[in-house]
Amino acid sequence: MRLGAALFLPAALVAAGVLGCAQNQFTASQNAAIQQQQAALSRQLEETQTRSVALDRDNQQLQSMLAQANQRAQILENQLAVVQRQLSDTANQVTQLQKEKEDAERQVKTLNASLQRSGSVSIQPNNSLSQALPAVNIPGVQVRRDGDVVRVELPADQLFVQGVLQFRPDAVPLLTAVGAEIARTYPNQIIGVEGFTDTGPLSSATWKNHLQMSVSWAAAVQDALVSRGIFPAEQLFVAGHGASHPVMSNATEAGRSRNRRVELVVYPEKRSS
């Protein structure tokens, strides 16, 4: 029994040593597997971080593009609002001009009917205006033929103080010189004193509309010519056309200034003596 026990002990020790080596190999294998998993996880983490950075960069770019798109949309919306306001203003101006035109046409018809009914004025055809009108040599005055009539323009800016029905200091000498020249050249012709405005806003509350302004201008000029003895009252008639007959475009200040005027219109008809 002692010899057997002695023999068994080395064998057990050998078995234990073999078992320990196997366990060590298994542990090393586990450690290697764990290290490989850790390395794989590290690579995945790095890839995830890289994708996260790329996604964040893409997100920032998309946000920037969205902000730019929103800004462009706001600009387009503002431009559309401006265009809509301009269209509305234009439509209102067209409506106002149409009304002024209709009012002016009614007034002209009324004046013509009044002239024809009046016993002091007899309309007689006269073809003498087919000949050229002698030049009116006064600075700032334009003379033009318009069919059978001759139109002598008096700029309203040279006649009236802006915004009120008051003559400028140099207006009366201008009216006197122009009126005297027309009276000398055409002593018996019917003369229309006709007012015209531009399409701009009224400069004061003196007038309700452009037609009223043009009539008041023409009436003031007619009164000045008659009161100074240049024309008899029965030789003249007054008409206002508002902004319905521009001679230039109202798109520029020069055009609007030209359109603000009083015209002395020499008609081919003669008054009775």
Cross-strand bridge partners of residue 151: 144, 265
Is pLDDT larger for residue 106 or for residue 244?
Answer: 244
| Residues paired with residue 270 on neighbouring β-strands, in sequence order | 124, 189
Give the tokens for residue 66.
Answer: 């969205």
pLDDT tens profile 107-137: 555 555 444 444 333 334 444 444 544 555 6
| Amino acid 130: pLDDT | 45
Quick: pLDDT tens for 153-208. 999 999 999 989 999 999 999 999 999 999 998 888 899 999 999 999 987 788 99
Domain residue spans in the chain? 1-101, 118-270
**Interval 87-112: pLDDT, tens:** 776 677 667 666 666 655 665 555 55
Distance CA 223, CA 108 (A): 19
Tell me the CATH class for 118-270: alpha beta
Residue range 39-85, pLDDT digits in tens: 888 888 888 888 888 888 888 888 888 888 888 888 888 888 877 87
End-to-end CA distance of the chain: 178
Contact 236, 128 (CB under 8 A): no
